[in-house]
Amino acid sequence: MQTKSRVLVFTEYGGPETQTIIERPVPAPGPGEIAIEVKAAGVNPVDWKDRSGRLGTQRPLPAAMGREASGVVTAVGDGVTDFAVSDEVLGRVAASHGTFAEHTLLDAAKTVLKPEEISFADAATLPVAGATAYDVTHQIELEPGQTMLILGAGGGVGLMAAQIGKVHQFTVIGVASNAKQQLVESTGATFVASAEGAADRVRAIAPEGVDLVIDLVGGQALRDIAVVAKDPTTIITAADPATAQQLGGAAVKRTEEGLEKITGVAQYGLVDPHVTERFSLDSAHDAIAAVETGHVAGKVIVEP
Ligand SMILES: NC(=O)c1ccc[n+]([C@@H]2O[C@H](COP(=O)([O-])OP(=O)(O)OC[C@H]3O[C@@H](n4cnc5c(N)ncnc54)[C@H](OP(=O)(O)O)[C@@H]3O)[C@@H](O)[C@H]2O)c1
């Protein structure tokens, strides 16, 4: 039986040069945790934001990286009754164990069984990006036919949010760079180029404004597009709570049901996470660098 296992960590808060792969004992699950052999792990902006120190966290170093994964259960901790050894699962990392790893621990309360219709690669994108897409599209209830605008529509959360919007028969406007036009349109959304003047282009197709603004970018791009919201309280952000609140909007509220719901939606083939780049654990640095550009298309994953 394997006793040692590799994981990507950062050794101090800072840039990508602080990342390295180390060996550690295969982690054993505590109460409420499950141990998995990782099959795939989704890469998210929070991974490099955490490493950079901008989240203000003070984790013990070295700190393992990665928050979402799919894999096969190898052991369960005390009190875990919903999972058993050999189950295929997807979930959020437990404590600080990291998912860019050969083995890790998941939080059983934030883990679900992987339906066989979903590949391990796609499953790895649902616990963070997929569940966020679910929550951000459901925080304000729209009626079929109402208009939902997504700023950052070509990224990991944005593409899944656009597809959820189409499932509900909303009119979806996706704002992204020109390189992502085809990808955004493949969801059924109307593409609007994110270059200067995006708000004018949105007004040309939605003269009365939009019923919901989903922000996945923040900053000046959010300020510029916010003028198209019919009501500023319908600006919901996953990227920049401070700016959204200044504009009258709010931060996305993460829910417990989001993971189960998005897994069901994906199981029925209604949402494709669009995994566009796959990296080995040895190349996890490149995976994080791709997401750190801020201009990734769809989801990037690491497969140990
Ligand atoms: N609060 C939470 O629980 C939570 C959970 C998940 C994610 N988030 C946050 O939500 C944000 C989005 O996450 P993600 O995983 O979707 O990120 P991502 O995969 O990196 O996608 C971001 C997208 O934004 C686009 N973009 C960048 N600048 C833009 C601009 N000025 N106008 C329009 N689009 C622009 C990028 O490509 P192009 O510029 O080429 O179009 C990219 O496709 C991040 O800030 C992340 O940290 C929060």
Segment 278-292, tens digit of pLDDT: 999 999 999 999 999
pTM of the model: 0.98
Q: Is the CB of 151 under 6 A from ligand 1?
A: yes
Strands 33-42 and 19-25, bridge-based pairing: unpaired
- CA-CA distance, 185 to 41, in Å (whole number)? 26
Nearest ligand 1 atom to the CA of 46 is: 47
Q: Which residues does the chain have with pLDDT short of 70?
A: none
Q: Is the CB of 66 under 6 A from ligand 1?
A: no
E strands, the chain, are 4-10, 19-25, 33-42, 63-64, 68-76, 88-93, 103-113, 147-151, 171-176, 190-193, 212-215, 235-237, 250-251, 275-280, 299-303
Q: What angle do CA 233, 236, 241 make, to 5 degrees?
A: 100
Nearest ligand 1 atom to the CA of 252 is: 1
Residues contacting residue 62 through CB under 8 Å, at least 6 positions apart: 9, 10, 11, 20, 22
pLDDT of 166 reads: 98
Segment 108-124, tens digit of pLDDT: 999 999 999 999 999 99
pLDDT of 194 reads: 98
Q: Is the CB of 44 under 6 A from ligand 1?
A: yes
- CA-CA distance, 198 to 240, in Å (whole number)? 19
Nearest ligand 1 atom to the CA of 221 is: 31
Residue 158 contacts residue 173 (beta carbons within 8 Å):
no
pLDDT of 8 reads: 98
Q: Which of 69, 83, 97, 123 is nearest to 304 (CA)?
A: 69
Domain 4-125+273-303, CATH homologous superfamily name and number: Medium-chain alcohol dehydrogenases, catalytic domain (3.90.180.10)
Q: Is the CB of 291 under 6 A from ligand 1?
A: yes
Ligand 1 mean position, distance from CA 297 (Å)? 10
pLDDT of 2 reads: 77
**What are the domain boundaries of the chain?**
4-125+273-303, 130-251
- State how far Cα 290 lies from the chain centre: 14
pLDDT of 95 reads: 87
pLDDT of 12 reads: 97
Cα distances (Å, whole numbers) of residue 292 to 178, 224, 295: 19, 23, 8
Q: What is the CATH number of domain 130-251?
A: 3.40.50.720
Whose C-alpha lies nearest to ligand 1, atom 45? 239
Ligand 1 mean position, distance from CA 21 (Å)? 26
